[in-house]
């Protein structure tokens, strides 16, 4: 099975690459893709660069060029739900685009004609995540993740996103990956570790907790890969 593992930044995939052997690099479409064998799984790993356009391009390349048939995303996010703290893990059950707005034409926020406001993650992969969480004794929250091409550091914007989309966390790539995977019929799973509260000063909190939260997310993803490997 060919499995894709994505991040948005180098810090989000470095913990993954450090645990793989005989990694090969491929330069495609102005980005670097890494391939390696992990047990019986053929892995394709890449960081897309930040934002919806780059993440959609990377996801589509992994599927079309490398033949990825399951997509996992590992990274960090800002918390919206007040119960979420630094380092907490959120598995996206649904994803939406909080900055997509054609309400002037009578549509709800996040919707485009022939599209969807919410895209749902693969139930089987969510089930594997729950199994991993139980085995590791880790708390895993299921929730709605909102995506937009904005690093949100405004409490009023954060409150609006939470209220409008019932979102628990927000980031800048997940829904774009979901759109691509949904269109190409590739099961996907988006995992985010909380790195900031989405209304703090980005300079201190994000830089401080990016590495630890990325490592926690990557470790969880590796445990999911172990389950997929054993099921082969």
Active-site residue (options: 83, 114, 196, 229): 196
Strand partners, 105: none
Alpha-carbon gap, residue 107 to 179, rounded angstroms: 18
Alpha-carbon gap, residue 123 to 140, rounded angstroms: 15
Known active-site residue 196: yes
Q: Both tokens of residue 58?
A: 């990377």
CB 151 within 8 A of CB 199: no
Q: Both tokens of residue 56?
A: 């959609």
CB 44 within 8 A of CB 58: no
Q: Residue 204, Cβ neighbours under 10 Å: how many?
A: 10
Burial class (CB in 10 A: 0-12, 13-18, 19+), 40: exposed
Active-site residue (options: 12, 168, 173, 182): 12
Annotated active-site positions, please?
12, 196
């Amino acid at each position: 099975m060919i499995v894709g593992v994505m991040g948005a930044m180098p810090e989000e995939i470095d913990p993954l690459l450090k645990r793989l052997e005989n990694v090969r690099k491929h330069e495609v479409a102005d980005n670097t893709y890494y391939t390696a064998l992990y047990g019986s799984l053929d892995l394709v790993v890449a960081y897309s660069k930040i934002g919806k356009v780059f993440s959609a391009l990377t996801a589509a390349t992994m599927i079309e060029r490398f033949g990825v048939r399951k997509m996992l995303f590992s990274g960090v996010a800002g918390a919206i739900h007040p119960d979420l703290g630094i380092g907490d893990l959120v598995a996206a059950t649904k994803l939406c685009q909080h900055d997509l707005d054609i309400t002037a034409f009578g549509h709800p926020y996040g919707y485009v004609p022939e599209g969807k406001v919410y895209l749902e993650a693969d139930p089987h992969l969510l089930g594997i995540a729950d199994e991993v969480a139980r085995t590791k004794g880790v708390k895993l929250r299921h929730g709605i993740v909102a995506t937009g091409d904005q690093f949100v550091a405004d409490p009023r914007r954060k409150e609006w996103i939470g209220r409008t989309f019932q979102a628990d966390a927000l980031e800048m790539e997940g829904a774009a990956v979901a759109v691509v995977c949904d269109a190409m019929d590739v099961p996907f799973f988006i995992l985010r570790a909380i790195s900031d509260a989405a209304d703090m000063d980005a300079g201190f909190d994000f830089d401080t907790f990016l590495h630890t939260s990325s490592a926690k997310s990557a470790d969880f993803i590796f445990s999911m890969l172990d389950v997929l490997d054993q099921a082969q």
